[in-house]
Amino acid sequence: MNVFFWRRPVVDGVRLTPASERVLRVPLTSAPGLTVAAIGSRAGVKTRTVSRLLVRLQVRSWVLSAWESLPPGADRPRRRFYRLTPYGRTRTLRLLGAYDTPGGRP
């Protein structure tokens, strides 16, 4: 259900802010997904903001995450990859569609 809170669309408790719009427009459908740094770079959003948004989206089953597997003795930390679920894709399209309709943008 779409509810407008200060003229910003909300779907399943996710409000479309300028930062969330930029993050959700990054194609997160490819496997294995993208890292927080890659998403932030493509969206032009700080990684701290991206991390917080992805946690909220993961709790709502919009996004899945998976740790990469590294061989023993690797000289770098593991990376976590994020991608949209099919449910998250439909919700993202609904949220962005509500914003893109006439009268949806402030």
Q: Looking at the domain assignment, is residue 15 inside a domain? A: yes
Full-model pTM: 0.78
Domain count, the chain: 1
CATH number at residue 45: 1.10.10.10
Q: Where are the beta strands (DSSP E) in the chain?
A: 2-5, 8-11, 14-15, 63-67, 80-84
Please determine, for residue 103, whether its predicted confidence score (pLDDT) is greater than 90.
no
Residues spanned by the domain of 88: 2-68+77-100
| Mean pLDDT of all residues in 88-96 | 88
Q: Looking at the domain assignment, is residue 105 inside a domain? A: no
Distance in angstroms (rounded) separating the CA atoms of residues 67 and 44: 23
Partner residues linked to 67 by β-bridges? 80
| Residues listed for the chain | 106
Which residue did the predictor score with more confidence, 86 or 7? 86
Which residue did the predictor score with more confidence, 2 or 54? 54
Q: What percentage of the chain exceeds 70 in pLDDT?
A: 82
Q: Looking at the domain assignment, is residue 96 inside a domain? A: yes
| 3-class DSSP state of 34 | strand
